[in-house]
């Protein structure tokens, strides 16, 4: 199967994966913040590397990203991405620290960093465990890594494995949000399976490659 020639059926399966993963993560987030969290229908896109950054506002747009490397039978990368304001809002919700500044000359407070780490751990962890249960593929999350920097610089890390075999990435993008008109949280989940993981995921779900 050519990496970038997916049938509608394949795309549907990947969308379902995003649905299940983010659904579980949204439930976790809802418990964490004690409020209602909605999620949108995931989009599955096959995009050039430049377009990956465009999905979150362009390569030099600053973002807060929690990155988890998936180890095990179907390796890949998961990013949970927030804008700077949204991440500050999330930290305020969790820690009640009202003076959070993530982007300044000084290092952000340790509490803010560990709150984000922990939120990322919970969210990405629940995303992955749902995925692993659904596909019955063994996937272990790495320790979460946090970065507050330009989208291009951060997301490239997730593209390196792919870049040996392709100039395109399959991105399963699911947005979750907390229903508030202003200062809401609209997070993106990006799932980027490594190239060799894609056929494994399809096989695990009983989808024939040859069509």
Give the binding site for other proteins (CB under 8 A). Answer: 49-50, 53, 58-60, 62, 67, 103-105, 142-143, 145, 147-154, 156-157, 159-161, 163-167
Tell me the Ramachandran region of residue 80: left when phi exceeds 0, alpha when psi lies from -120 to 50, beta otherwise: beta
CB 126: neighbour CB atoms within 10 A? Answer: 20
CB of 18 to other proteins, least distance (A): 23
Q: Specify the residue, 23 or 59, whose C-beta has the smaller distance to other proteins.
A: 59
Q: Specify the residue, 178 or 194, whose C-beta has the smaller distance to other proteins.
A: 194
Query: What does the chain come to in residues?
Result: 211
Please answer whether residues 68 and 141 qualify as being in contact, where contact means their C-beta atoms are separated by less than 8 angstroms.
Answer: yes
CB of 62 to other proteins, least distance (A): 5
**Pairing outcome for strands 62-72 and 139-141:** antiparallel
Q: Specify the residue, 148 or 205, whose C-beta has the smaller distance to other proteins.
A: 148
| CA count, 13 A, side-chain hemisphere, 58 | 2
- SS3 category, 94: helix
Q: Specify the residue, 70 or 151, whose C-beta has the smaller distance to other proteins.
A: 151
CB of 157 to other proteins, least distance (A): 5
Please answer whether residues 65 and 155 qualify as being in contact, where contact means their C-beta atoms are separated by less than 8 angstroms.
Answer: yes
Q: Specify the residue, 15 or 145, whose C-beta has the smaller distance to other proteins.
A: 145
Q: Which two tokens stand for residue 163?
A: 């870049």
CB of 149 to other proteins, least distance (A): 4
Q: Specify the residue, 31 or 71, whose C-beta has the smaller distance to other proteins.
A: 71
**Pairing outcome for strands 62-72 and 145-150:** antiparallel
CB of 167 to other proteins, least distance (A): 5
CB of 63 to other proteins, least distance (A): 10
CA distance 102 to 108: 5
């Amino acid at each position: 199967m050519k990496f970038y020639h997916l049938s509608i059926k394949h795309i549907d399966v990947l969308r379902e994966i995003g649905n299940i993963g983010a659904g579980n993560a949204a439930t976790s987030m809802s418990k964490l913040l004690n409020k209602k969290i909605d999620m949108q229908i995931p989009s599955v896109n096959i995009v050039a590397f430049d377009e990956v950054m465009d999905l979150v506002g362009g390569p030099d747009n600053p973002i807060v990203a929690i990155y988890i490397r998936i180890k095990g039978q179907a390796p890949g990368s998961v990013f949970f991405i927030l804008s700077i304001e949204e991440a500050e809002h999330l930290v305020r919700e969790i820690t009640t620290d009202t003076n959070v500044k993530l982007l300044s000359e000084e290092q952000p407070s340790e509490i803010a960093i560990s709150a984000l780490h922990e939120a990322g751990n919970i969210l990405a962890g629940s995303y992955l465990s749902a995925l692993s249960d659904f596909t019955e593929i063994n996937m272990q999350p790495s320790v979460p890594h946090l970065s507050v920097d330009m989208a291009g610089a951060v997301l490239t890390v997730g593209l390196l494995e792919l870049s040996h075999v392709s100039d395109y990435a399959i991105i399963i993008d699911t947005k979750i949000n907390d229903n508030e008109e202003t200062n809401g949280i609209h997070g993106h989940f990006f799932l980027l399976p490594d190239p060799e993981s894609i056929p494994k995921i399809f096989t695990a779900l009983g989808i024939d490659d040859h069509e």
